[in-house]
Structure formats: C-alpha cells, structure tokens
Amino acid sequence: MTTSQNSAPRDPGSGGAGAGAAGVPGALVGADWLAARLGAPGLVILDASVGAHRGADRRIPGARPFDLDGDLSDHDAPAPHTMPSPAAFTEALRTLGVHDTDTVVVYDGAGIYSSARAWWMLRAMGFDRAAVLDGGLPAWTAAGLPAESTGPAYEGPRGSFTARPRPGLLIGSAAVAAALADPSAAVLDARTRGRFAGTAPEPRPGLRGGHMPGAVNLPFGELQGPGGLMRPAAELRAAFGAAAGDRQQLRFSCGSGVTACVLALGAHLAGYRDLAVYDGSWSEWGMPSDRPVATGG
C-alpha cells in the first residue's frame, strides 16, 4: 500500500528558507551541531544508508537503522522503495524507539543520498522535528568526530510515534502526468544526464531508457559542493531557477524515489514550498506501458 496521492499541498515547512520545526534549526544540520548534542535525551539519530553502505561496520554513536531496503519500504509494491502504509510506518518507527516528541537527525554513508528520502518520508507522515546531516557520515568522520562499530539492530524501548499522513507530498503517476501538462509546474528528474537522455543504461532490468516528455534534468549531485555538502541557499535557488524558470510548483522524480528527495531537500532549503516527490519514479514510469517516453537532452 502506498500513500501516494494525485494532488500536492504546499510544503508545511515554516519560516524562511530552510527553517524547521521545534528541535532542529532547519532541514539541514552540520556535524558540529549534532556533535554538540550527541547523547542528549530526546535526540534520535537514524542511519538511512542503502546499497553498499547499508549495514556498514561504522556508524555515528547510537545511530539506529532506518532501513529503506528493509521494512521502511513496501515490498509488495511493484516499484522499489515505495512508501509503506501509515500503519506499517508507525510500527517501524515505534520499533526504532521514536517518539512524537523526539528530535530526529537522519544521515547516510554516501553523504546526502538516501538520508533525504528518510527526511521526506517523515514529513509525509506528519513529523517535522527532523533534519538531514549535511555531508552524512563522510563529513562526520572528516571532522574527526567519533564513530563506533555497528552493533545489532536497535533493541531498546518502543516509541510512541504515530503517523499523521499529509496527502500529496508523495504522488503517483497521474499527478505527474498532470504536472507535465501544467505550465505552472515543473517536473525535475534527479537522474544522471546519460540516463535522462537514454544514452546510459538503466540499472534496473526491463525499464525503458529516456525521460518523461516535458521533464527537466537536474542531477541531484549538482546540488552538492565540496565534501558532499549541500550548496548554499542562494546557489540552490539559482540551480532551480535555471531548471524551472519562475515555476513554483516543483515535482521530483529519479530512479526509485530516493534521490528525488535530495532535490526536494534542496528546493526546501532554497525557499520553495509547493513540492512533491513521485514515489514510483522511473521504476514505475519506465516500465513497458503506454506512458510516453522521450530520449535526448
């Protein structure tokens, strides 16, 4: 079951560009901010690493596994990394010991890759007391901060987290098709330029190459600067302006709904608020079907 909907409300973030809810100063925190609060009551650190970084032997002290390749995705859905149901998400977060009143920092072993997906999922389930660690585990270790050997899965007390879904932050193909036809909306694709153009192979078998007609390519890595840190808000705004013009309704896609959330994070930091992520992304749209596909730049 997926929580994807066919319309997208305005992003519930408050304040100026990148401002966040109580507990975090914004959607992004630095290693120094987290290090100063390590071990504080009510602070939960979640490791959202995927792929080769999943289950790595080093972690930020006390981190708990937000397993996007495991129970934090709906494995009955045809596309990978599909958002689980609110009930399943609630159970997974309670198993991780997360309370509604906690402050959550998410990170991943690649830098900022899958951590943004965890942050967006939390927002889609009504939880705003969360931030992404800028630069992830690489930035943490580069700063000389402590890491520990990864132990068993979290075995502490259960939490009281309750999902309160916000329809529209995760959307389906019908809403994406509507956005492609809407001159006030932009669909931004976070995949590499080769995959977008159809000149590079898709990593998942059976998918067509290319992109949605009318979509614009903005590879997620272009939002990151030296050390894998997110670029400053002004540079992010310029990047989105170059891709989307003056359009304020931004819809994001990628391979499986993961790096699309890096674009959502960047757009949020840049001050955009009418944002949505295509949950199925190219893993759904690129399947053999009558959905249109274009190739080239």
Which residue bears the tokens 């979290």?
Answer: 154
| Alpha-carbon gap, residue 132 to 43, rounded angstroms | 13
Task: Sort strands 148-149 and 58-59 into parallel, antiparallel or unpaired.
Answer: antiparallel
What tokens does 48 get? 């959202």
| Alpha-carbon gap, residue 98 to 77, rounded angstroms | 25
User: Helix (H, G, I), strand (E, B), or coil: what is residue 39?
Assistant: coil
| Residue numbers annotated as active site | 254
CB neighbour burial string for 109-144, b if at least 16 within 10 angstroms, e if fewer: bbbbbbbbbbbbbbbbbbbbbbbbbbbbbbbbbeee
How many CB atoms within 10 Å of residue 94?
A: 17
| Alpha-carbon gap, residue 172 to 34, rounded angstroms | 35
CB neighbour burial string for 46-69, b if at least 16 within 10 angstroms, e if fewer: bbbbbeebbeeeebbeebbbbbbb
Amino acid at 289: S
Element (H, E) at 276: strand 274-278
